[in-house]
Amino acid sequence: MGSYEYGKKDVCEWIRQTFPEDSTILDVGACDGKWRRMLPEYTMDAVEIFAPYARTLQGYRNIFVTDIVTLKYDWYDLIIFGDVIEHMTIERAQKALKYAAKRCKDLIIAVPWEYKQGVVDGNVWQAHIQDDLTPELFAERFPGYEVLCDPGNGYCYYHKAT
């Protein structure tokens, strides 16, 4: 199971225009390592809660097999929550984003709208808990973010509001 392709090339181009190659990136919910493959020039760490996925990851400086809500870290230039918050309760997602926002220059959140999904390949973490997300609910639950890229298809990328 990997993240969606919608808009990823545009977001990668924005990252390259915004962050120099010596920047550090934390890929939250790395899954199959798509962000690592798309941005090979950056120093990147991964967080993956599901150990079988983590064992397949390559090219990361560090791979943390843990829950992002409990992971303690100091600073990354960019943190990417790619297809993550819909898998968390509102409260846990808010906690993880609040912690992360203070520890990075910018933070990208990729999220699908109103997308129901259950357990996938035995991975209970794949179930969508916030399967009701819409642009309006996102703004209400996660204030302080603005649209970075809206490729359509019921999917959107946000980053810290400037």
- Residues 33 and 141: their CA atoms lie apart, in Å, by 27
Residue 115: pLDDT band (50, 70, 90) is low
What digits encode the pLDDT tens for the residues 57-106?
999 999 999 999 999 999 999 999 999 999 899 999 999 999 999 999 99
Domains and CATH numbers, the chain: 8-160 (3.40.50.150)
Query: Would you state the structure tokens that stand for residue 81, as one six-digit string?
Result: 């929550």
What digits encode the pLDDT tens for the residues 65-79?
999 999 999 999 999
The alpha carbons of the chain give a radius of gyration, in whole angstroms, of 14
Nearest residue to 28 (alpha-carbon basis) of 67, 59, 86: 67
Residue 83 near residue 112, CB atoms below 8 Å: yes
Q: What pTM value is reported for the model?
A: 0.92
Continuous segment of H or E residues that includes residue 98: helix 90-101
* Cα atoms found within 13 Å of the Cα of residue 16, Cβ hemisphere only: 11
Q: In the chain, how long is the greatest CA-to-CA distance?
A: 40
Average pLDDT, rounded, for the chain: 91
- The residue with tokens 């990136």 is 25
At residue 113, the pLDDT reads: 77
Region 125-154 average pLDDT: 87
Nearest residue to 15 (alpha-carbon basis) of 46, 42, 45, 49: 42
34-42, long-range: CB < 8 A, 24+ apart? 34/2, 34/3, 34/8, 34/82, 35/3, 35/80, 35/82, 36/60, 38/8, 38/9, 38/12, 39/12, 39/15, 42/15
Task: Give percent above pLDDT 90 in the chain.
Answer: 74
Give the per-residue SS3 of 66-77. CCCCCCCCCCEE
At residue 118, the pLDDT reads: 60
- Residues 36 and 98: their CA atoms lie apart, in Å, by 24
At residue 129, the pLDDT reads: 75
